[in-house]
Amino acid sequence: MWSLQLRMWLLLTVLFGFIYALIVVIGKSVLHVGDFSFYLIISLVLMFIQYMIGPKIVEWTMRVKYIKREDNPRLFQMVESLAMRANIPAPKIGIAQIEIPNAFAFGRSLRDGRVCVTKGIINLLSEEELKAVLGHELSHLKNRDVLTITLLSVIPMIMYRIAWEFLFYGRRRDERSGNTALIGLAAFVFYFITNLLVLYASRIREYFADRGSVALGNQPSALASSLYKLVYGSARMNPEALKESEGLKAFFVNDPSQARNEIKELAQLDLDKSGTIDPSELLLLKNKNVRLGFGDRLMELLSTHPNMLKRIKKLSEYRG
């Protein structure tokens, strides 16, 4: 876990450096201010605003409704039992009013943790599979990577907005300034680099959360089977329905937008066509070599989640 936290904080430091550098360039070119503390304060204020409003943005986008124990005693019992095993405070539990089958965790800290499932997942998974997914989400909270990914994810968005503003609007407002296009171009380059770094951070946290779910007592095959079902469920969704979660898919257990491609690869794992991946099928995968082609490696590089076949192969190496 320390390895994950170290990587995440190093990434946060690097990305904060990018945003600080760009704000300094803009400030010196447009405002003609050269004070170090002025730019540092602006950068920190941007991060603080994201820290404060991040959970509300997730709630609003995913249409989260928090529930009481009497609304779903089974779900409450699973979350509380897993939280006790993880030795963390029991998070708030919510149901997202969207049909995409998935789950996610967010919050500013361990005490502010929230775990949510979507309407689409509740009747799709068995109890063991749902527990494995919830264990994955609680591991995100335990690893304290939720806040970090929330802070990280806003930086490329800021870079993109700055690039758009200076490339397409800055020149119209001030034709005398030859720096606006250069600032916009620099922001766009920074956007591309920071986005790749955020995607990398998102992928590594998924591997740690998978391992964390197994450490909480869930069987690797139960998590593998749940991932298979989530991919299958997302692949059946209308593309328009998938778009409503596009901006926050890094929070999900899997990337719904990649489901149609992934289902073709994963179908080979379900040898008995039961719609699940059982321990014997997972054991067979353990003894196989999984090699990704150039196209698959490139797609993974640009994705919030690891290649699903590679990810399930990693699960096959864990002991339940």
Angle between helices 179-215 and 220-235 (to 10 degrees): 130
Q: How far is it, in rounded angstroms, from Cα 153 to Cα 111?
A: 21
Phi-psi region for residue 275, left (φ > 0), alpha (ψ -120 to 50) or beta? left
- Annotated catalytic residue within 129, 137, 206, 281: 137
Rg for the chain, CA atoms, rounded = 21
Q: How far is it, in rounded angstroms, from Cα 203 to Cα 190?
A: 20
- Check if 175 is active-site: no
Residue type, 49: I
Alpha helices in the chain (DSSP H): 2-26, 36-62, 73-86, 119-122, 127-142, 145-164, 171-173, 179-215, 220-235, 239-243, 259-266, 279-286, 294-301, 308-315
User: Token digits for 195?
Assistant: 């986005």
Contact 196, 300 (CB under 8 A): no
Give me the active site residues, please.
137
